[in-house]
Chains A and B, each alone.
Chain A
Amino acid sequence: MNPEKAPIIQMRNIEKHFGSVIALAGVSVDVFPGECHCLLGDNGAGKSTFIKTMSGVHKPTKGEIMFEGTSMHFADPRDAISAGIATVHQHLAMIPLMSVSRNFFMGNEPIKNLGPLKLFDHDYANRVTMEEMKKMGINLRGPDQAVGTLSGGERQTVAIARAVHFGAKVLILDEPTSALGVRQTANVLATVDRVRKQGIAVVFITHNVRHAMAVGDRFTVLNRGKTLGTAQRGQITPEELQDLMAGGQELVALEGSLGGTV
């Protein structure tokens, strides 16, 4: 999007083989700070494998990952997280029975030392949680409200806010809208927009073209382990994207018989 900016993460010719199966056959994607890069593809296209490679779950068989200009080899997801690549999974890292503030700081608890004791600094945690939630447009009854009382969209938003608060530079959202209703989806997309404006690179995985078109700056379509190219916003219509995802031919034929409702 901004040619003067350097990409924060570059995936170059990534190949990933699982035994005799070639899941990724040379995928190259650049992601810039402050952009929302949508990764589209049908089921089995290699989206999940690709982002798992990006977030350190899988090691690429071939190819190079450049993060902030240097070649990186992530040993495990913790490694990628500490570098600043955070993933918000479809099935979230949220615990319904725990309060929002306890969830927000889970694994990263603010510490107040009382002699040798490591106390959970509840005042700080509550204050920060309320502030961050307000920024994201969620008004909580209180920081002690259980996550279980939040809607699916709000939980996604809490997870995103948490990743941002703990210094994510690249935020990978794995199908964040796939299980949500219309209004909740709108809230999550608004959150994505807000995060992007803070200069964070967002990698948004979806197979819903309308969701992608709503927030995406650039669109990369994966099909059968290969990229079918990256398009800028405005250069491509939703119909074209849809066709690319489905591999073209079949859907055109189907569209004819369904009268253009797909």
Chain B
Amino acid sequence: MKVSYNELQGLCRKAFSGIGFEEGDAADAADMVAWMQCHGLHGVEQLNRGLDYLLAEDPEALTRVIYQDGDLAVLDGQGLSVLRSISLATELGFAKARARGLSVVKIRRCHNRQLIMGYLSRLAGRGMNITAFWRNAQVPLTEQVVGFRAGHTTPEVRVYSVRDVPEENEPNDGITLVMANHVELLPSLDPDHDLDLLAHHPESELLACRELALKEGIVVDDAIWARLKTLAHRILVESSDASRGGAGAGVNDND
């Protein structure tokens, strides 16, 4: 089915509230999904993949700061989806970069990482240069680099596979964010390395997707939409004859 951007954002916000997100988290998470979807980056599908995890997560679990100093922070995402409160970790990086010129934030143990792009877009819009980097634990190993230019809310995205990787046992479930207040950080691939570019989404392509989405509407899968509606229904209060008196005009209006 076809939906509008505002409709997608609104339903996601209600669905996240239905899952138990706090209001601010629900709004931020909805923005992240809708942003991804309208830029052609399959936000709804990404959400659907992580929805069962989200439903099973402990709503009281918080992203914890393991270490921080003036321009560096390491956080434990507690295995949660980035949709739940990860925005504060990125805001921490933003604050440090504003204060110190450049910051590095490492968020360990998180999933649904693609969706973080939607929140980074807001930080870039506030004038921050950002590079986000993460690895996907698959064979062959893939890396994703997302670069935002300060003031631009649309990034350039590259996904490539790395064939020649030194052996190591670090889990690939984190995100590294580098933010710079004054210096552009746009990454480019090094031709000397043995890399296979799997996907490249330049800023212009993503902007064109957004324009088309606003013009033609956004296609979403009926089943996922129905599932989100079911979750959104959790925030509604069953109606009764008494509650019908609690708002608006009379039930019958013949004047």
Partners in one complex: no
Interface set of B (CB-CB < 8 Å, partner A): none
